[in-house]
Amino acid sequence: MVAKSPQKQEQTERKIRVLIAKPGLDGHDRGAKIIARALRDAGMEVIYTGLHQTPEMIAEAALQEDVDAVGLSILSGAHMALFPRIIDELGKRGLDDVLVYAGGIIPDNDIPAIKKMGIAGVFGPGTTMEETVEFVRAHVTPRGVGEEE
């Protein structure tokens, strides 16, 4: 039997890291906090940005926290203006491989355009916590796992 080096073992056991962000002037964060708790209870590391985050602040937090996924929670109706800017800011920081998904009040008619801009999943009212947790698990490989030194 070959023992893994401590560094390799740490990489394979790294938890999925998720940033939950509230872009724009939306002042309601109950749903974001519930999602953050569900992801945490599912064994993920969760960073919550708090309210009133700019696209630059969200991307910078994602970079600094070395996250695997960014969950955007929006109720304000500004998703078509804010989401492309967030995707752009993540790209500027080399975070094109970070899964980005969204939840909140997003009209069904906007979902195809949102997915085309790089948002992998959109979850509206009535989505269960289990659906969101399983989506993240199914679409994320923790950064650094499986990468050669």
- CA atoms of 134 and 65, how far apart (whole Å): 22
Q: Is the pLDDT of residue 75 over 60?
A: yes
Q: Is the pLDDT of residue 5 over 70?
A: no
The domains of the chain are located at 17-139
Assigned CATH for 17-139: 3.40.50.280
Token reading at 70: 């960014």
* Tens digit of each residue's pLDDT (9 = 90 or more) over 42-72: 999 999 999 999 999 999 999 999 999 999 9
Q: Is the pLDDT of residue 28 over 50?
A: yes
